Structure 1
Amino acid sequence: MSNPYLCPNCKTNRSRFNLIQQLPSSVKLDPGTGIIMEEYTDNNLEAFHLSYNGPDKKVQCASCGLIEDETTFVKFAEHNPRE
C-alpha cells in the first residue's frame, strides 16, 4: 500500500481503513445439507469449476463501513487530491 486512499462513500476519511486479505477456497458442497464434499486446488479443479480470479485485497472504510476493491479508494483519492 503506497497510494493514498479516500473513501468514495463518506468522502472525508483518508486515514482509517481495514485491509482485508482474501484467501479463496474452492469447494464442492452437498446441495441438500451444505456440507463440504470435496476441496479443490488449482491443479485438480473439475471441468465446470472456475478458479477464483477476484482481487487479493479489499478495503473497508473504518468510518462508514464501505467495502470495495482497493483501486476504488485509490482512484477516488487521485481524482480528489488533498488541498
Structure 2
Amino acid sequence: MEPMLCPNCKTNRTRFNLIEQQPRAVKLNPQTGEIEQEYTNDTLNPFHLPYRGPSYRVQCAACGLIENPEMFIKRAQHSSEMG
C-alpha cells in the first residue's frame, strides 16, 4: 500500500474504504435478464472479453468519492512534491 490523498476533498490522507472487486463473467437472457451461463477465465468465448479493471477501488471515507487507487496515490505523490 502507498500513501493516498483524496483528489476530491484534498484533505483526507487516512480514512479510506478499500472495495474489492470480484467480477463474474455471465451471459444474460436478453428478454428476462436472468443469468443463462456463468463463465470462468478458461471457458470464456472469443466474444466475451475478460475483466481487465483494477482488483480493488478506493472510497474516501470523508467525502465518499470512489475511484481507482492510482487517482489517490498520484494525488498524494503530487502533494508531497509541491510541499
What's the TM-score, normalizing by structure 1?
A: 0.94
The number of residues matched between the two structures is: 82
For 1:54, the equivalent position in structure 2 comes to 53
1:40 and 1:16 mapped to 2: Cα distance?
Answer: 36
2:49 and 2:3 mapped to 1: Cα distance?
Answer: 33
1:37 and 1:45 mapped to 2: Cα distance?
Answer: 14
For 1:26, the equivalent position in structure 2 comes to 25
Per-residue Cα deviation, 1:19-47 (whole angstroms, up to 9, x for no partner): 01111110000011110000000111112
1:47 and 1:30 mapped to 2: Cα distance?
Answer: 19
1:69 and 1:47 mapped to 2: Cα distance?
Answer: 27
The answer to whether the aligner puts 1:79 opposite 2:78 as a matched pair is yes
> Residues 6-17 of structure 1 correspond to what in structure 2 (within 5 A)?
6-17=5-16
2:60 and 2:38 mapped to 1: Cα distance?
Answer: 32
Determine what percentage of the aligned residue pairs are the same residue: 59
Q: Which consecutive segments of 4 or more residues in structure 1 shift more than 4 A? A: none
Q: CA RMSD in A?
A: 1.2
Say which structure is richer in helix: 2
2:22 and 2:35 mapped to 1: Cα distance?
Answer: 17
Q: Which runs of 5+ in 1 are unaligned?
A: none
What's the TM-score, normalizing by structure 2?
A: 0.94
